[in-house]
Amino acid sequence: MKRIPIIATLVVALACAIMIGLGIWQLQRADQKEALIAQYETNRAMSSEISFPELGPVPDEALFRRARGLCLEVIDWRTSGGRAGDGKIGFRHIAECRTGAEGPGMLVDMGVGSDPAAKPKWGGGVVGGVIGLEPDTASVFEHLLGDPAPLRALLVSDQAAPGLKPSSPPSTEDVPNNHFGYAIQWFLFAGVAALIFGIAAWRRKREA
């Protein structure tokens, strides 16, 4: 009878253990995300206005708060799929603003339009709105492995640029909590790997 493939068995066992560990970690992240969403609900209920935070990882205490900032100059425009306050689907136009001599320091959603190539006629100024996050472009695989690069703060303006409709304000209902699903996927990966190895071992024994 052929010997049990020790090295292959150890490799599969280690891989399954790692995938199970990642699944457990994602379950823990799901609990943390639920606590964050509760914090965001509290933030949204606050009526006081704050100053728009600097670009970078946005503090949890600032998300979904009303804020005001000053866009000295629009450096560039970017577009992504979006929805206007009236429910119309289109392209949201996001301005990358300069707030000082250092360059871009503020992202502002200036509204939704039907033409993704349009350049809104807005050069900057004082903006008021609700703080959200910039569009997430990370892949599913990046989310499976863990948290990708932190998203920057985005101010969704109450007043749209000429020719655009105001974007729908950020909602906590749009905050994804997919960690439980990611955990299930890791557990399934581990189960499938163990099953495939078990079938291969059974066939090897049968042939022997």
Provide the pLDDT for residue 147: 60
Give the whole-number percent of the chain exceeding pLDDT 90: 38
pLDDT value at 96 more than 80: yes
With H, G, I as helix, E, B as strand and everything else as coil, classify residue 80. strand
- Mean pLDDT confidence for 120-125: 92
Provide the pLDDT for residue 122: 94
- Mean pLDDT confidence for 120-135: 91
**pTM value?**
0.65
Lowest mean pLDDT among 69-83, 107-121, 136-150, 153-167: 136-150
Which value, to the nearest 10 degrees, does the dihedral of the CA atoms of residues 2, 4, 6, 10 take? 150
Q: Is 92 exposed, middle or buried (0-12, 13-18, 19+ CB in 10 A)?
A: buried
pLDDT value at 77 more than 90: yes
List the alpha helices (DSSP H) in the chain.
6-45, 140-145, 179-207
pLDDT value at 7 more than 70: yes
User: pLDDT tens for residues 148-194?
Assistant: 667 788 999 999 999 999 999 887 777 767 778 888 999 999 999 99
Provide the pLDDT for residue 1: 47
- Mean pLDDT confidence for 76-95: 92
Cα atoms found within 13 Å of the Cα of residue 30, Cβ hemisphere only: 14
- Mean pLDDT confidence for 48-56: 81
pLDDT value at 69 more than 70: yes
Cα–Cα dist 103/149, whole Å: 21
Indicate the domain borders of the chain: 48-175
In contact, 64 and 172? CB cutoff 8 Å: yes
- Averaged pLDDT of the chain: 85
pLDDT value at 104 more than 50: yes
